[in-house]
Chain A
Amino acid sequence: MTIAALDLQNVRRTYGRVVAVDNVSLTVAKGEFVTLLGPSGSGKTSTLRLVGGFDQLNGGSIRINGERIDHLPAYQRDTATIFQSGALFPHKTVAENVAFGLRMRKVDASETADRVKQYLGIVRLSGFADRFPAQLSGGQKQRVALARSLAVRPAILLFDEPLSALDLSLRLQLRAEIKNLHDQLQFSAIYVTHDQGEAMAMSSRVAVMRNGAIEQIDTPENIFHQPINEFVYTFIGESCCLAVRLGPQPTDGAGGRIDLSLQGDHAPGDARLYIRPSRLRFGPDAADLPNRLKARVEFVEFLGDMNRYHLRAAGLELFADHAGAAVHRAGDVVDVGWQSQDMRVFR
């Protein structure tokens, strides 16, 4: 059995009565890119800070390359963090920033110079060695932070929402760059984010967190297609929720009659039906589909390459995305249909 780059066993952190990290167990294989995904307060950053040594755990163990490190201070751990703000040393040049970790690890001068050059090349900032951080753009700062962390070749890289302070186009660009770098260099990493797009695009595996605990950990595909529970389903991707009461005459839960027909047997009672808005079909397209609902168009949003229809059936609100020209207008009553495999039922 190969030794994992990082191994967390029942890691726990409490602040008074608040449980920030609740018995988290997680293994990152060498070369694996694992994302901790969750809303704010889900414990993902707390977990990362415990690994980095910026906080002390109350229970459990952390091993890096098989060696227990949870008693060591941050400066003795073989980790390197990329912070949200970049956290560059403002009075040091770009080259000095990248060299800092190497100096602390007593790497000799010629090797240090080589590595600074190498990693500034990798993040495409070769001409910026003598600049100061204040002279760089936000994206460039984050690239320097990346080079500074990569240069020490840590056992595991820790990303603490590194892109969340950047604007959208830059975020997409850097996201692709980090993924490329991972493909090239095969470093092991934990990446903390609340952006599910980032998580899906970059990760070998995604751990969805809530209330300090991991709800599900799996490949992005499996997380998306086989969410283990309602929370994971709703957190990954957009979805419409129909809270209904099933029975001979289905209602919207508050008693309003709805014209809903579902394929297969569904036990009567309250249920929440989830459908991805991109999988909903209308009008003639819906006629042959096994699951159907009659709904009235409330209003239409133009989203560029598609239209988003906001629909209402009694007390139920849903929206559906449709490519092409707007075929329905507000007030139209339409048939909405979907395939059974595109629907998830939670009770």
Chain B
Amino acid sequence: MSDGSTPLTRRSVEPVVFRVLTLAFTIFIVAYVLIPIVVTLVMSFNEAAQIRFPIKVWSLGWYGDFIASPQWTDALKNSFIIAVGTAVISTTAGILAAWAFERYDFAFKNVLYILIMMPLFMPGVVLGLGVAIAFGGLEIGGVSIYGSRGLVMVAHSLWAMPLVFMLMEATFRTIDNRVVEAANDLGAPPVRTFFEVVIPMVSTGVISSVLFAFVISLNEFVMALFLTDRDTQTLPVLMWLSLRSAGTPRLAVASVILALTVFACLSLIMLWYIRQLRKVSR
């Protein structure tokens, strides 16, 4: 007999109702997140001309159609170029700003902080329209910047840069200031110290910033709708326009491509993070 000698584990103390609720909640979240993606994925293999169940014939036909269509591949190309540009702009600006806020004191620091963070809380419609009205009429070297990819990159950076800034500010706060001082002490000027000592210490944050900014730009729709023209429209914009004309499984194909790219980015962040953890703890 083991009366009273059973160890009190957390599991045995927790009321059953908690466990049931936890399970139910988990199932709900997983289903809620996964079902739309899975349905889209399945639909992309439908040979029919309409997005409709049931699927009678399975095929990769719409994938071939997507790749063969210059309109769709161009949109995909635009999305990638704009996302890469956004990642470069917002990572550079965000990291430098975060370092400045972490290390130096300067005038109007609080005001600048609010200015940097504000766009993050602005509706995309407001930002898109604002940028279009404010800068749409500008010309550089006789070429109107309205509709250019550059303008979209800058607009997307309004969202991506504050996120990078927040992420990097938190990351910079974790580094041991003595290590930075040690680099100075051994003869490294500030810029050299930043690139040779500080950046390697925050590489996980930098990689995450680049990929987050990339994903934000790739996913963004409203600002791109306001700021692109026929030649520069991104994949989400084209998808929305084509949904209005014809809901073919080509849309599902485009969704799958977008979703897979985002998953790939998230996986990269995870892999890098694990790599860094291994490096520190080995």
Contact = CB atoms under 8 A, between A and B. Distances in A.
Contacts, number: 76
B14 interface: no
Contacts of A105: 187
Contacts of B176: 85, 87
Contacts of B178: 83-85, 87
A134 B281 contact: yes
B181 A74 contact: yes
Interface in B255-281: 279-281
A52 B201 contact: no
Contacts of A88: 179, 182
B181 A87 contact: yes
Interface-centre pick from A76, A90, A145 (highest chain B CB count, 10 A): A90
B188 interface: yes
Interface in B76-114: none
Interface residues of B, number: 23
B282 A134 contact: yes
A75 B183 CA distance: 8
B187 A75 contact: yes
A74 B185 contact: yes
A89 B181 contact: no
B187 A101 contact: yes
Interface in B163-206: 176, 178-179, 181-190, 192-193, 197, 200-201, 203
A101 B193 CA distance: 12
A81 B281 contact: no
Contact of A132 (B181, B189, B201, B279): B279
Interface of B: 176, 178-179, 181-190, 192-193, 197, 200-201, 203, 279-282
6 contacts: A75-B186, A87-B179, A89-B182, A90-B179, A90-B280, A104-B188
Interface of A: 52-54, 73-76, 79-81, 83-85, 87-91, 100-101, 104-105, 132, 134-135, 145, 148-149, 152
